[in-house]
Amino acid sequence: MDELRAITTGWGLCLTETQLQQFATYSAELRRWNTRANLTAILDEHAIMTRHFLDSLRCALSWGEQPSSLADVGSGAGFPGLPLKLLCPALNLTLIESVAKKADFLRHLVAELGLTGVTVLAARAEQVGRDPHHRERYDVVTARAVADLAVLAEYCLPLCRVTGRFLAPKGGDITAEVARARNAVERLGGRIFAVEPVELPGVEPRTLVVITKVTPTPDAYPRATGIPAKRPIR
């Protein structure tokens, strides 16, 4: 936790003792639940801090104005949405996770950490993106899922309000992936704003793709469940 405090302070993100204790609890519960829910292959405490917590918190440097609402698509064990909620307790957070065991972990963790203003949806992103209670309602949408950027754009941009941002933490060299996704992003109402290098201690180079929402997403998107992954927009 000392390293987490030092690095985030260097980023201009100041964590209180209470927040640091919440991150410690998060790490412990993640490792405890992992055997039953297959949440992560990363179980070393230091690796959890760098590859999960810091990688998630880095998003806060690129979301523009302080958001009031965030939707995290394909949350899994809660990254990057829950660390961002711990950083900004007033944030209204929706975690979207279709796997029931992972959604159960998220609900448990929200209760364990004493969080309010968090909704866990055990649903597919395609379904949520067509729900008027969620469509184009969020200031920021995040997704750290292992999927092509064009697919993630169809999951996420329908949830993002116009002038909001979609943030996608990615691996190192994603030049070709970004080029493939450009048409999909624009068709869905977005514009690629930045592709930012991310440096974390002891971790291979990573990237954060920042997409702004400039026009409403056409009613035809997202398509039916499973179609975005099977037939990405090109």
Question: Which pLDDT score, from 0 to 100, does residue 163 have?
Answer: 97
Instruction: Evaluate the omega torsion of the peptide bond into residue 222 and state whether it is cis, within 30 degrees of 0.
Output: yes
CATH number of 2-230: 3.40.50.150
> What is the pTM assigned to this prediction?
0.96
pLDDT category at 130 given cuts 50, 70, 90 is very high
Supply 88's token pair: 């900004």
pLDDT tops 90 at residue 159: yes
State residue 97's pLDDT score: 97
**H runs (alpha helix) in 38-174:** 45-47, 55-57, 81-87, 100-112, 125-128, 149-156
Query: Domain map of the chain by residue range?
Result: 2-230
Which tokens go with 150? 């064009």
Identify the DSSP state of 216.
Answer: P
Looking at residue 71, what is its pLDDT? Answer: 98
Radius of gyration of the chain (CA): 17
**Residue 86 in this model has a pLDDT that exceeds 90:** yes
Mean pLDDT confidence for 10-19: 95
Average pLDDT over residues 8-32: 96
Instruction: Give the whole-angstrom CA distance, residue 89 versus residue 215.
Output: 29
pLDDT at 72: 98
pLDDT tens-digit profile of 193-215?
999 999 999 889 999 999 999 99
* CA 102 vs CA 62, 77, 86, 129, 131: distances in Å: 27, 6, 19, 20, 22
Quote the CA–CA distance of 120 and 116 in Å, as a whole number: 12
Mean pLDDT across 162-188: 96
Report how far residue 230's alpha carbon sits from residue 37's, in angstroms, rounded to the nearest whole number. 26
> Pick from 122, 107, 118, 182: which is nearest to 149 by CA?
182
